[in-house]
């Protein structure tokens, strides 16, 4: 929908809760610009969806930030990816004046630095060669596009030097002819390779359609940078996440666990009882009738939710992995009441009560670490399983998922495997989250030993953890 159409009655209704005309104009303009930003970030928004969003805004308090974001998410986000982009864009665009000024200054400085790099690249790709006449010289350069220059600026210094030597040699070997176009074609092929390579590494120019508007481009750049940082953290070994990135990682895992909690809470099963219409299955079963709803399909909420027995290795090499898994499970506690948590190294401790007191996870985790006598010591899984099966046998039931977080390296591994084998007969399933990289499994004897009595998954990144929990907990 064109902006002129949006400035009609729909927008007036959307901002009717604001009385002052100048405030109305300001909010209206911001709505337009925000839709513009979403489109430039790749969120597809049709005319009808725009109208839906504006109508939704007309039904809420436009001065309530949470209500506004919720309305936009409900009407514009069609996929999990859209929700992430919209959430980050909303946070960046509807920021305080101080943050806006800081972002504008940062964006301006980045543009100036980019301009200096581009100018330097042009100079580096210019050469002065001997002319056809005695004492004559001529200046030649590579006619590259702006995008190709940006790729060149991102190249490693050693690669730049090698490319410059190659170009100089090519020009000097053709003192009479004008080989610029031919050599430029060769350079473009090389830069296209590097563009792909840098993109895979995450170091290439951001693939976003900038507008030329400094404020909007600043928001776009901030969103792209943040998404890139989050993606890098998502696939990075948890052990290698820096302290600087820990707050971002913690926020990301909180979002992941909340999303899974929502899916668990909303699960349904198919039913012949007329309790709740299953619209998707109804449409699919009635396509043969031209869309007329002859055959209605129903579903009822699944009452049974998984019971979880979490056993985390917190020895020296495992402590950080365990902390992230504990945080993930903490986020599920709102919909899964039966989560029992234990930590172990040389001994074992039950920490379930630490997470049931309606306090921040960080506070609970700090208390556990400070109080624990086992955090960061050696590993004895056999002793931990002995204590759990002996003192907490009531937790080992036919509807219990046992989740073990460990790299399998433990004392008394044979005896631990024997206890695990016996436990496997009594529980619903045993999931082993192995933080050891998959390429090392064949060289680690304890992996095959414990794998016989559990379903083992590689789990050393947030991406691994998210996928395992989504695919296994929703079965």
Q: Tens place of pLDDT for every residue, the chain, 475 residues? A: 444 444 445 445 444 444 444 544 567 788 888 999 999 888 999 888 888 998 899 889 888 898 999 999 999 998 878 888 999 999 999 998 898 888 888 888 888 888 888 888 778 777 666 656 666 666 767 777 777 777 778 777 887 787 777 776 766 665 545 556 655 666 666 666 665 555 555 544 445 667 878 888 889 888 888 888 888 898 899 999 988 889 889 888 988 888 788 777 766 555 555 567 777 778 877 777 766 777 887 776 554 567 899 999 999 889 999 999 999 998 888 778 779 999 999 999 999 988 766 778 888 888 888 888 888 888 999 999 999 999 999 999 999 999 999 999 999 999 999 999 999 999 999 999 999 999 999 999 999 999 999 999 999 999 999 999 988 876 6
Residue with tokens 């400035």: 7
Parallel, antiparallel or unpaired: strands 348-350 and 339-344: antiparallel
Listed in sequence order, the DSSP H helices in 317-434 are: 319-332, 361-371, 381-391, 413-424
pLDDT, residue 327, reads 92
Whole-angstrom distance, CA of residue 33 vs CA of residue 93: 9
Residue with tokens 């919209």: 86
Question: What one-character DSSP code corresponds to residue 377?
Answer: S
Listed in sequence order, the DSSP H helices in 94-128 are: 97-124
Residue with tokens 């042009």: 122
> Residues 265, 258: contact at Cβ < 8 Å?
no
Element (H, E) at 249: helix 246-265
pLDDT, residue 357, reads 60
The C-alpha angle with vertex 129 and arms to 123 and 132, in degrees rounded to 5, equals 150
Whole-angstrom distance, CA of residue 237 vs CA of residue 460: 5
How many Å separate Cα 234 from the centre of its chain? Answer: 5
Structure tokens at 200: 């895979």
Scored b (16 or more CB within 10 A) or e, 378-412 reads ebbbbbbbbbbbeeeeebbeeebbbbbbbbbbbeb
Residue with tokens 């069609």: 78
Number of Cβ atoms within 10 Å of the Cβ of 425? 9
Cα dihedral sign, 65-70-75-76: positive
pLDDT, residue 321, reads 94
Whole-angstrom distance, CA of residue 456 vs CA of residue 404: 9
**What's the predicted TM-score (pTM) here?**
0.61
Whole-angstrom distance, CA of residue 233 vs CA of residue 461: 8
Contacts 24+ apart (CB under 8 A), 440-444: 444/408, 444/409
Report helix, strand or coil for 172: helix
What lies within 8 Å, CB to CB, of 108 at 6+ separation is 214
pLDDT, residue 179, reads 57
pLDDT, residue 182, reads 56
Whole-angstrom distance, CA of residue 339 vs CA of residue 330: 9
pLDDT, residue 383, reads 96
Whole-angstrom distance, CA of residue 380 vs CA of residue 408: 10
Residue 310: Cβ-neighbour burial (10 angstroms; 0-12, 13-18, 19+): buried
Structure tokens at 377: 């010591």
Question: What one-character DSSP code corresponds to residue 472?
Answer: H
Tell me the CA end-to-end span of the chain in Å, nearest whole number. Answer: 42
Scored b (16 or more CB within 10 A) or e, 445-470 reads ebbebbeebbebbbbbbbebbbebbe
Whole-angstrom distance, CA of residue 140 vs CA of residue 183: 11
């Amino acid at each position: 929908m064109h902006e002129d159409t949006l400035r009609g009655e729909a927008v007036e209704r959307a901002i009717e809760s604001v009385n002052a005309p100048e405030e109305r104009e300001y909010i209206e303009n911001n709505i337009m610009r925000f839709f513009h930003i979403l489109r430039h970030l790749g969120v597809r928004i049709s005319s009808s969806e725009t109208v839906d969003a504006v109508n939704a805004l007309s039904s809420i308090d436009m001065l309530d930030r949470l209500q506004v974001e919720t309305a936009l998410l409900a009407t514009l986000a069609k996929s999990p990816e859209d929700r992430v982009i919209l959430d980050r864009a909303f946070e960046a665009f509807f920021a305080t004046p101080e943050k806006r000024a800081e972002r504008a200054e940062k964006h301006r400085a980045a543009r100036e630095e980019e301009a200096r790099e581009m100018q330097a690249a042009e100079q580096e790709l210019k050469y002065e060669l001997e002319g056809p006449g005695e004492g004559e010289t001529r200046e030649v350069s590579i006619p590259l596009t702006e995008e190709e220059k940006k790729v060149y600026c991102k190249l490693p210094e050693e690669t730049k030097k090698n490319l410059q030597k190659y170009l100089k040699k090519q020009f000097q070997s053709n003192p009479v002819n004008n080989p610029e176009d031919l050599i430029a074609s060769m350079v473009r092929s090389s830069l296209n390779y590097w563009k792909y390579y840098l993109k895979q590494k995450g170091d290439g120019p951001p693939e976003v359609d900038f507008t030329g508007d400094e404020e909007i481009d600043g928001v776009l750049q901030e969103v792209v940078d943040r998404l890139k940082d989050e993606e890098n953290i998502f696939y990075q070994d948890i052990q290698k996440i820096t302290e600087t990135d820990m707050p971002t990682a913690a926020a990301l895992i909180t979002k992941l666990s909340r999303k899974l909690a929502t899916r668990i809470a909303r699960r349904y099963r198919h039913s012949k009882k007329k309790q709740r219409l299953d619209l998707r299955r109804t449409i699919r079963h009635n396509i043969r009738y031209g869309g007329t709803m002859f055959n209605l399909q129903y579903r009822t909420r699944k009452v049974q939710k998984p019971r979880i027995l979490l056993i985390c290795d917190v020895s020296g090499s495992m402590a950080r992995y365990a902390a992230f898994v504990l945080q993930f499970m903490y986020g599920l506690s709102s919909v899964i009441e039966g989560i029992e948590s234990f930590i172990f190294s040389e001994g074992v401790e039950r920490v379930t009560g630490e997470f049931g007191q309606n306090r921040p996870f960080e506070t609970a985790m700090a208390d556990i670490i400070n109080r624990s006598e086992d955090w960061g010591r050696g590993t004895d899984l056999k002793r931990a399983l002995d204590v759990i099966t002996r003192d907490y046998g009531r937790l080992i039931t036919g509807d219990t998922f046992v989740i073990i977080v460990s790299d399998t390296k433990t004392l008394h591994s044979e005896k631990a495997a024997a206890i695990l084998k016996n436990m496997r007969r009594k529980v619903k399933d045993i999931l082993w989250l192995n933080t050891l990289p998959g390429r090392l499994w064949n060289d680690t004897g304890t992996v095959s030993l414990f794998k016989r009595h559990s379903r083992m998954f590689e789990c050393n990144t947030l991406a691994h953890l998210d996928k395992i929990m989504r695919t296994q907990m929703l079965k």
